Amino acid sequence: MSFDRNKLTLHIVVGMVAGLIVGGVLNLIGNEGWIAVVFTDGIFHVVGQAFLRSLQLLVVPLVFVSLVCGSAALDDVRKVGRIGLKTVGLYMITTAIAVSFALGAALVVQPGSGFDLPTDVEFRASEAPPLTAIIIDLFPSNPIQAMASGNMLQVIVFSILVGLALVLSGDPGKRVLGLFRDLNEVVMKIVTIVMMLAPYGVFALLARTFAREGFGAIAPLAKYFVLVLVVLLFHGFVTYPGLLALLARLNPVRFLRNVRTVHAFAFSTASSNATLPVSLETAERRMGIDNSVASFTIPLGATVNMDGTAIMQGVATVFIAGAYGIQLSVTDLGMVVVTATLASIGTAGVPGVGLIMLAMVLKQVGLPEAGIGLIVGVDRLLDMVRTAVNVTGDLVVSCIVAKSEGQLDEHTFNADSDDPGN
């Protein structure tokens, strides 16, 4: 089956634009009555969810099979540790940079000053789990349960264990590994098939989102909305390309070109998790990152690396402080950097969770959690953009780590030809 990515990208863009327009028009003429029943909550809902589920269904099998192959290729346990440390270190550093930028920009712009505080805001946040529970929870007591519940960190731990055991098991290990490598090809082929449905899927997802959301909620929050957007775009189009050029000596323009399809998926689904199959495919087949690195860094990134989310949380904290007329001290700001970095690690890669995790940051600096209620109206739109930043960050770090390990094929990275699906 041939697969022309240039054409596909073009079709996806057409689908996105059409979805935006159709959704916007439906919203303008009133998304009610038979229009809502037939289109928004009918056709668009069904097609969008079918597409989203087809992506989600791939996540666990893909991560498991791919990471078993990947960790089996790293025959040296020290190498696994080194790649792990580099990846986690870079994920945390880039997130801390992201929040710091966000805080700096928000302190200059002061998006919350002069904001009319409504009297009826309410938001009840759930408790964040303690650190000990988070660490214990990395280890699955039942791998099937971990897979069934989609607990990605547990699936990662189990897959690495299986991969290492295969290497250490001699001939039987080699035979089983052969099976996993074949399975990996098959699952990747399913990713390609689902990607071909993307133009219809993104159309339906965006048409429904925009029919329901509209832009009305933006006006009173314009300062906050635009500021988050600007910092997100800066991080995505300046910080990341800069880091790539500086640390990996890779052409940032090529990178941005290679990452386009991933952007489209992340924007339309607002979920790093659902985008994971496409991120992994792009990492290996467009960026030229070897499976031994990508199969580890990409799933880990989709689960713990959320720079876009941290940016929103940084700006939101200053906004909420301003709206309530509360001054943040320098210590508070330092606290926000640390907690937003941790909160973004704890944020699941699904729509809207970043906003819930914001409660953890607000609590840390003594701001009212009800403040979240102020910004909830524009969060879905920002979620789409921040998810695109989140997944871009995963790919940037993966490129840097792969390059430093000699595991990035620059020929593929710089290739003009866009036909990886054979």
Judged by the rule CB under 6 A, the positions of this chain that interact with ligand ASP are 270-272, 306, 309, 347, 349-354, 383, 386-387, 390
Smaller CB separation from ligand ASP, 61 or 352: 352
Least distance in angstroms from the C-beta of 380 to ligand ASP? 10
164/217 Cα distance (integer angstroms): 51
Smaller CB separation from ligand ASP, 391 or 408: 391
Q: Which residues, in sequence order, are CB contacts of 404 under 8 Å at separation 6+?
A: 86, 247, 248
Least distance in angstroms from the C-beta of 351 to ligand ASP? 5
Smaller CB separation from ligand ASP, 199 or 349: 349
Smaller CB separation from ligand ASP, 281 or 383: 383
Smaller CB separation from ligand ASP, 59 or 74: 59
Least distance in angstroms from the C-beta of 379 to ligand ASP? 8
Per-residue DSSP letter, 407: -
Give the type of residue at 310. A
Least distance in angstroms from the C-beta of 372 to ligand ASP? 12
Smaller CB separation from ligand ASP, 44 or 267: 267
262/390 Cα distance (integer angstroms): 11
- 400-404, Cβ contacts within 8 angstroms, sequence gap of 24 or more: 400/90, 400/243, 400/244, 400/247, 400/248, 401/83, 401/86, 401/87, 401/90, 401/293, 401/297, 402/287, 402/289, 402/290, 402/293, 402/294, 402/297, 403/247, 403/248, 403/249, 403/250, 404/86, 404/247, 404/248
Least distance in angstroms from the C-beta of 304 to ligand ASP? 11
Least distance in angstroms from the C-beta of 386 to ligand ASP? 5
Q: Which of 158, 204, 163, 165 is nearest to 26 (CA)?
A: 204
Smaller CB separation from ligand ASP, 252 or 301: 301
Least distance in angstroms from the C-beta of 350 to ligand ASP? 5
H or E segment and range at residue 50: helix 44-73
Q: Which residues, in sequence order, are CB contacts of 242 under 8 Å at separation 6+?
A: 252
Least distance in angstroms from the C-beta of 205 to ligand ASP? 13
Smaller CB separation from ligand ASP, 56 or 407: 56
Sign of CA dihedral 271, 277, 283, 285: negative
H or E segment and range at residue 13: helix 5-28
